[in-house]
Amino acid sequence: MSWLAGTTAVLVLGAGGVSAWVYNDLNNNIKGADIDGKLGGDRPANLSPGSKNIMVVGSDSRDGANAKYGRNLTTMQSDTLMVLHLPANREWATVVSFPRDSWVEISACEKGDGGTSGPHLAKINEAFAIGGSGGEVAGAAACSIKTVEDNTGLRIDNFMSIDFQGFKGMVDALDGIEVCPEKAIHDEDAHLDMEAGCQTVGGEKALGYVRTRYAVGDGSDIGRIGRQQEFMETLAAKAKSKLTSPTSLYDFLQSATKSLTTDEELDGIDPIYDLASELKGIPSDRLTFLTVPNYPREADVPTDRANVVWQYPQAADLFTSLANDKEVAKKPFQAQAKKGLIYASTVRVRVLNGTGVSGRAAAVAEKLRAAGFTVVGTGNAPENTDTTTVAHPDGLTEHAKVLASRLPDAKATRSADAAAGEVTLIVGADLDPEKMR
């Protein structure tokens, strides 16, 4: 956004009739989507006034010129999903990538046919397809926003979507981007044939490079996210240095704006330029790209070899930090995630009902099983309580933290009375099973 909108200013602020024509041309390219009415009222609060969370989606729509990139796909697809966090002081920024194979609870959403889908577990990118089943970006965006908000607790303030064709045009306007694959890549699905070694790739080949998955490395979406992040950093740097020619600048912005859909607040050159003005002072070493910590779901569900689950408490710590406008240092964050990996299936949980509401322990236990935890039993607590607690014996502190991080406002505490080898969850009146991550 910083280089896109910053370069737009060169045209917007120029003198004469040509500038006015270019301004109107680019401004009319951007499409606005009214999503507010589709989000409902039960949303997270913005805990840090002045900060912004902007959802950015690389749209995998198969309409028009994009039809050749997929077979038997009739719905809109989110090929890439990220959230850009801008702090209130605008002195740093963090981009968080969400693996498209993330196994999460998809929120209840309006569908294109007027119906409503129920909450269910699926890949996170299914939200975009459900909401966009009628072909409208507004519905697709709303369902993705609701799902991300419900799973992270972050308030999403704005939305942007750009499709394949816009990406290719942007790269072509820069005369290509240099990439250096260590091995040759041959991927029919991504329409890509590349030899090993450094080379400059144009729009079509560049698109294939950032889309390829199964033909590179371990074939995971995590590896693809890494390539996408590196590519976008290189693209941003080249855009800053190269877009001095009015012709190449205009071509670049035409491609970007023609394929850009935003929420109504960002609909137009003026709001995008205003945003860029806030961003341009952020040092490059304080723009951080992170991926939600995750591990293969196969570790919890041996039959699932296709998806990943988010790693707790590290994922919850990341979301909490951004919600409270705290900068996250990349290297310590990654080191902690690698060091503190605990599979949900290794956390043995006993669920006790302290609400007095019949069936509450069973409902919570079912949610925990769906999240991969090992539930060893349910029952009633000695007495009712307003506050949910997670108690653990010596040696299970980290396991208790994994569980507590999935429960709103719950804390893990050591207890001499806790049973050996398991974590005890006492469900209080404050815990709504539907709010569990």
SS3 for 324-360 is CCCCCCHHHHHHHHHHCCCCHHHCEEEEEECCCCCCH
**In the prediction, which pLDDT does 4 show?**
46
Amino acid identity at 373: F
Rg (CA), the chain: 23
- Residue-wise pLDDT tens for the chain (437 aa)? 434 444 444 444 443 445 677 778 888 988 999 998 899 888 999 999 999 999 999 875 545 544 554 444 455 777 789 999 999 999 999 999 999 899 999 999 998 778 899 999 999 999 999 998 888 889 999 999 999 999 999 999 999 988 777 778 888 888 899 999 888 998 887 788 999 999 999 878 888 888 887 777 666 677 777 888 788 788 877 877 776 667 777 788 888 888 889 999 999 888 877 777 777 778 878 989 999 999 999 999 999 999 999 999 999 999 999 999 999 999 999 999 999 999 999 999 999 999 999 999 999 999 999 999 999 999 999 999 999 999 999 999 999 999 999 998 899 999 998 999 999 999 999 999 888 88
* Structure-token pair, residue 56: 């950015």
**CA–CA separation, 88 vs 83, rounded Å?**
16
**In the prediction, which pLDDT does 243 show?**
66
**In the prediction, which pLDDT does 61 show?**
54
pTM: 0.86
Strand, helix or coil for residue 388: coil
**In the prediction, which pLDDT does 73 show?**
46
**CA–CA separation, 409 vs 407, rounded Å?**
6
Count of all residues that appear for the chain in the document: 437
**In the prediction, which pLDDT does 63 show?**
52
* Structure-token pair, residue 241: 């240095």
Nearest to 109 by CA among 32, 34, 37, 33: 37
* Structure-token pair, residue 399: 């396991």
302 CB neighbour count, 10 Å cutoff: 9
18, 108 contact by CB (below 8 A): no
Strand, helix or coil for residue 13: coil
Amino acid identity at 217: G
Cβ contacts of 133 within 8 Å, gap of 6 or more:
75, 76, 111, 112, 113, 139
Nearest to 378 by CA among 312, 422, 342, 429: 422
